[in-house]
Amino acid sequence: MKRPLEGIKVLELGNFVAAPFSGKIFGEFGAEVIKIEEPEKGDSLRNWRIMHKGTSLWWYVHARNKKSITLDLRDPEGQEMVRELVKKVDVVIENFRPGRLEGWGIGYEDLKKVNPSLIMTRISGYGQTGPYRDKVGFGSVAESMGGLRYLTGFPDRPPVRMGVAIGDSVAALYAVIGTLMALRVRDNDPERKGQYVDVALTE
């Protein structure tokens, strides 16, 4: 039986949880997912939490159904390789701090020049615009600011961490939903114009 996202190609520039979780879902439903990892240590998720034979159990979950390659995005040669890959994909998903990819010449405005049909899905702590745009975003902080941690724990003690990375995971699900909507719009557009999807952990 053909899986629903077969034929869709995704380039994952994500690290740690949110973007890789989205990439995992795309891969599970048949998309071809190419994951970029930085040289030497790779994705931080490889060494996070419970380990099995030297590798994180989280990594085994988040990396399945993906093809991993190593590129140094800080290096002009690595940036050029990203532009070449973008010519062949439908979606780029990333979770760098806003402005980081633009500084490397591989932001949305740069990439849509080589692939006008590209959907770029961006996950960050506080979104691509607004007063907190440039602040460091992390799941635990976003869960607190978004009110999730207010709902956990006991009345006489501080809020406690939930059992899973819920802020990253929920944001990842919204990223997938937004990407699928953007693909639907593009595929119904005679000019097949792409767009970018902006997801904030705090939202």
Active site residues: 168
Give start and end residues of each alpha helix (H) in the chain. Answer: 18-28, 57-62, 76-86, 100-103, 108-114, 139-145, 166-187
Decide if 105 contacts 75 (C-beta within 8 A). no
Gap between the Cα atoms of 125 and 145, Å rounded: 10
Find the angle CA(12)-CA(15)-CA(21) to the nearest 5 degrees.
Answer: 70
What would the two tokens of residue 6 be? 């077969």
Decide if 122 contacts 95 (C-beta within 8 A). yes
Instruction: Give whole-number Cα distances, 184 to 7, 23, 117, 165, in Å.
Output: 14, 18, 12, 29
| CB-based burial, 150-177: b 16+ in 10 Å, e otherwise | eeeeeeeeeeeebeebbbbebbbebbbe
